[in-house]
Structure 1
Amino acid sequence: MFILLSNPKSKQITSVFFEVMNSVNKFQCYYLLIQMSLKKLILVSMIFVLVAAMAGTAAAADTSDDKTISVSGTGKVSSAPDTVIVSIAVETEDTDAYKAQQENAVKMDKVLSALKGMGLTSDEIETTGYNIYSYTSGDDSIFGSKKTVYRVTNTIKVETMKVDMAGEIIDNAVASGANSINYVSFTLSDEKSNELRSQALDAAVEQAKSDADAVASALGVSIVGVKTVNVGASYTPVSYNYAYAEDAMYKSTASAGVSTSVEAGDVDVTASVSIVYLIR
């Protein structure tokens, strides 16, 4: 061994060997440092997540400790409708589909002319349905004859703010060839509906607040704020169904010169609120 080290070449080899070993040790040190840094980073991240979770739990716990009073209120406002909707149809039948369609077109054209002659505009009249279908009619016996009949139905909707013209619309439509009145509905325009909805909500909130004040006074606590509010509102149009509409149409045809009377009635707009008040 002494001889090997005393040899110049051996010294050179030994020097290279220690340099290589030194580089390996440095690499291992760097690797260990990187591993330690990653572990520290993971540990810090875990601590951060844990602290955030604890903070969220604490916040939730604080919120759940709120003292509250839950109340609800309703409000209702009634008003005369400012819009009327009348569904009118012309139905024709024939064993020839083309003839049934042509007859229907002629009658509907007369109906539209009559309605526009009353002062109604194209914006107030809308086609809502057009249908052609067939069915078999005739004797079901062995020697009986059967035939195919085609029925054409053309339906329009008149929607106008001329509410007092409802009966006149029915009369003129039937006199001009309409043979089906599907329904008559008295409702509210969007502007009027929103106005009444606000009034109904005011009444609902006032009722809820009054109840909350009464409860708080009885309990000896004070209302300090509002935690949550839920709102709902609706209204139901005044509608006359198919049976009423058919009766009105019959009276229109049976009583010449007598106008059909259709009473609008009032439309009720209702609103409701559920309020959770904070107390102390």
Structure 2
Amino acid sequence: MQDLMTTMIRRLSLCMVAVAVIAMALVGCAAAVEDTSNANVIHATGTGNIIGTPDRAQITFSVQTENADVKIAQSENALKMNNVINALVTSGIPRDALKTTGYNIYPVYEESKSILEQKVKTYRVTNTLTVTLHDVSKTGDVIDVAVANGINQADSIQFMLSDEQSQVLRTQALQKAVTRAKADADTVAAAMGVNITGVKNADISGGYSPVLYQNYQYDTGAAMKAAAVPTPIQPGDVTVTASVTITYTIR
């Protein structure tokens, strides 16, 4: 019985050794295949930039009111913001282009040496409105109408591209990127004395950042005095960037 057990243990040990040898051989084969697949390639990266003109604008501004009675501050704020919205709609801005993007009520405390002795002086109510324009040339007019009807805090102007325009410019940027990547690959292949036979894979990245004017300065008092002079706003340009990394096969 003991001899039988010893024989079985020996056979099991031999089987385990055989399995380990086979596994190591398979790993070696896989590594060899991977090395072979990566040996005859050239990696090239190209970047393309296209400058475009924004065809969308978002203007964000606020009505801010303050009163010792929070209900009065709220009522005054609501009245002014309703006046602003009605005036913008009357001027031709679609109502669905107007969106409330913030509403805050917070206390303003009297000056005090001790935090424990602080008393509420007034309540400040801020209602923030964002207007989206499909015609960027109306940006200055919208600001003037809003200020004339109650807006007293300017937040930001953001110029950007519509989805359609963004896709057109991105296509052009990608074409540039691919052309540059191919030119680099051809140069390297010629220097190595090899020929490019095809493309193994390609990775795409890139995008664009809207033009943003944060906390733009707007003198409401001066605007009211010079209401006949429209506010000049220049949208500037946006740059659409696309990058590609292409793996070319060579021989």
Give the TM-score taking structure 2 as reference length.
0.85
Check 1:51–1:155 CA distance in 2 against 1; reply closer, same or farther (3 A cut).
Answer: same
Q: 1:153 aligns with which of 118, 126, 143?
A: 126
Conserved 8 A contact 1:138-1:147: no
Q: Take 1:154 and 1:255, find their aligned partners in 2: how far apart are those partners? A: 25
Q: 1:101 aligns with which of 52, 55, 74?
A: 74
Q: Give 2:235's aligned residue.
A: 264
Q: Give 1:212's aligned residue.
A: 185
Higher relative contact order (CA 8 A, sep 6+): 2
The worse-fitting range, judged by mean Cα deviation, of 190-199 and 247-256 is: 247-256
Which structure 1 residue ranges, 5 or more long, are not aligned?
1-27
One-letter code aligned to 2:229: V
Q: 2:33 aligns with which of 32, 38, 62?
A: 62
* 1:147-186 aligned within 5 A: 148-186=121-159
Report % sequence identity.
42
Conserved 8 A contact 1:110-1:177: yes
Check 1:50–1:90 CA distance in 2 against 1; reply closer, same or farther (3 A cut).
Answer: farther
- Give the C-alpha shift of residue 122 in structure 1: 2.4
- Say what the alpha-carbon RMSD is for the aligned residues: 2.8
Which structure 2 residue ranges, 5 or more long, are not aligned?
none
Secondary structure in 1 matching 2:230: coil
Secondary structure in 2 matching 1:178: coil
One-letter code aligned to 2:126: T
Q: Take 1:60 and 1:248, find their aligned partners in 2: how far apart are those partners? A: 69
Larger radius of gyration: 1
Q: Take 2:23 and 2:220, find their aligned partners in 1: how far apart are those partners? A: 73
- Give the C-alpha shift of residue 146 in structure 1: 6.4
Q: Give 1:274's aligned residue.
A: 245
Check 1:263–1:250 CA distance in 2 against 1; reply closer, same or farther (3 A cut).
Answer: farther
One-letter code aligned to 1:58: C
Conserved 8 A contact 2:107-2:120: no
Check 1:129–1:46 CA distance in 2 against 1; reply closer, same or farther (3 A cut).
Answer: farther
Show CA shifts across 1:232-255 (max 9, x none): 11212122221xx22365653341
Q: Take 1:130 and 1:68, find their aligned partners in 2: how far apart are those partners? A: 57
Show CA shifts across 1:183-210 (max 9, x none): 1111012222222212211110110001
One-letter code aligned to 2:61: I
Check 1:149–1:227 CA distance in 2 against 1; reply closer, same or farther (3 A cut).
Answer: same
Give the TM-score taking structure 1 as reference length.
0.76
One-letter code aligned to 2:164: E
One-letter code aligned to 1:239: L
Secondary structure in 2 matching 1:247: coil
Q: Give 1:199's aligned residue.
A: 172
Q: Take 1:42 and 1:82, find their aligned partners in 2: how far apart are those partners? A: 75
Q: Take 1:262 and 1:228, find their aligned partners in 2: how far apart are those partners? A: 45
One-letter code aligned to 2:245: S
Q: Take 1:223 and 1:250, find their aligned partners in 2: how far apart are those partners? A: 68
